[in-house]
Structure 1
Amino acid sequence: MANNMTSVTDLPPLPSYTAVEAPDLISWCPDFYLSILAPTVSYWVVSIFFHIIDVLDLFPQYRLHTPAEIAQRNKVSRYEVLRDVIFQQIIQGVMSGVLSATDPPSLMGMEEYDVAVWATRVRLAQRALPALLGILGINAATVSKNMAVSHPLLAGVLAGGHYPFLTSDLSGPDGIPVPTFATWELLVAKAIYHLILPALQFFIAVTALDTWQYFLHRLMHQNKWLYTTFHSRHHRLYVPYAYGALYNHPFEGFLLDTAGAGLAYKISLMTPRQGMVFWVMSSIKTVDDHCGYALPWDPLQHITSNNAAYHDIHHQSWGIKTNFAQPFFTFWDKLLGTMWQGDTTLKYERSRTRAEELLEAEAKKISAKAQ
């Protein structure tokens, strides 16, 4: 609905707007279905990429574990992992559908109005500057007057956001020139609206998800019943691999991942499309954290210290009481003293040697039977 606000003050009027429903991001796929499919598709695209690397053994120098360890140490078959992951993704899809169905429609056409609202806030914030300078013993009015000719914009800032020389070519209904925003005010407003606010929303969402998962994940280890009943299933993968990232008990998977991501989305007040990006990022990150490779050219391995090598320690019997943080950052482990300390080289080497010995022993048994 159109909105045209004017003011008797020197504040520029807000522009009129007509809000309309935004078209789908992909013309042949409604946003409702895209929000359901995008996280799952991204999960499998990245998983298949790592699976190909794994099967073809393309980068053995960056493996965290040898193929012998995968074969000997894991207590669950790949079929069981695949089955349970698909089941969890069905639950996630239902949850995404519920959230999408209850979200308001995505609107467009208000962008200039919203930017102008922030520009108005920037203008109003300047009103406090003379008083702040006065505390420091600076007479803002005098300084502004002296700079009015040489630096008119700066003089306007020091005067508390008063720019009598900034007017549009049009006049108001009473014939008085209509005030306008300074270019710098609009640039700041656009930066707030298009960059700072979305970045803040993503920061809140990531922090909320990390907090939810850390404390719930840690509780699953501290409470024997919770661990035995639910979380122990995920730890059947002593040697994680990419598409096993969501291998969990269905109840744990819903509570830890699905509900956690949905709650983070709601807390951060994201738009449906921002939420879609957030869910895709979360899916890709959790796959990368379980990929089993420390690839030097993988950007997700370097953005934060919470990466595949970090989370892999948690999957080992000797590191299971540490490194609870996931999927993005490690700040809770650092703050609460649950981060692994010390060198892991010898521990990993023993695991590799033991797996090779078991594999050789099995091969000898098979060979003996064949003879």
Structure 2
Amino acid sequence: MDNQIETPMRPVRSAVHSGWVRSVDVRLETKLIEDVIHAQRPDPSYTAPRPPRRVPPEAHENTFYADLANCEPAVGANNTSVHQAKGAPDKGSGNRMSGNIKYEYKSVQTMRGLENRSIEKAQNEGGWELVDQAQGTLRTTLNFRRVKPETFLSKAWDAFRGLAPAKQRSLAAAVAVLLVLAAVGIGIAAAHDKGDPKAQNSATKSTGSATVNETPITSPTPTPSPSLTPSEETEPIITAENNKELAALLNLGDNCDPSMAQFAAKYQDQKIEFDGSIENMQKHEKYDTRYDILLGPGDAGPNTGVGPAFKYDNVNMFDLNLTGMNIPSSVSTGAKFRFTAKVGAYNPKQCLFFLTPVSTTVR
């Protein structure tokens, strides 16, 4: 040990004195070692903390659903519970479990801001339940579902599937025998009708009376239908394939070329059709749902550099009459369509060629 007892600084005069000093040092070292050992012994009154009890995942899950079942459920927009305990049947479903309910679905598009009216209408008229909704720039897509009504055939099929395999085979064989017997009966009845003498006599009498009373019948002379005027006939649609002037117009490098005014005056109110894209799109004055749309031929969108600057003035999305596959919920700059429109006026000061939309096909 490092601890030492300081002794007075005096010389040891005999062997007895030196032995006494060594015995005192040994006793002190022994005392210090016992104190250290005693300090390292555990306290008998001390209790070590127990490790946390491991709970299996199933216990957590059961606890969660038990607590959730005791809570008051949150009610959604259509009075349906937002949370539902696992494995519990839906309200109003009778003895059917939620996993066995069959639904039918439908989607409805409505303008933004009118979602609540569409949801209320679907709930009141058809009992549809809102599943989710996707908001676009102008329109919102509402997805509904409702329990598919059970028919006689569906109930019969469910009952058939619930039978044992042996009973299913027996029932299928019996139905097949009944179908064969019905077919045979129909064939016999048809053959009997063909060979009935009364039917043959009535047929001969009718033919005889027809020969006796046979008189020449003159067919009525067809009256000529009034010819349609050119305005009543279907107007042909002008395209770049059947009109050279429109083909040249769509490839002009200057949207202020004088030929545009000549084309507008010549084909006023006639329909033209071309592949193009949206160059620009702005709100019309202070309206939120009406727009001024600038169109251009080709697929370049805002980078279009050829053809007239076609313009739809003060139109909404319904005026575009979108058709085709995968109709978008909104329209934006750069979108590509096949435009069908009526020729309007040409403004040489603004170099704008005004059109009236007829249809807009997605491509």
Which TM-score tier does this pair reach, normalised by the shorter chain?
A: under 0.3
Which structure would you say has the larger RCO, counting Cα contacts within 8 Å and 6 or more residues apart?
1
TM-score (norm 1): 0.18
Q: When the two structures are superposed, what TM-score results if normalisation uses the length of structure 2? A: 0.19
Rg larger for: 2
Between structures 1 and 2, the one with greater strand share: 2
More helix by proportion, 1 or 2?
A: 1
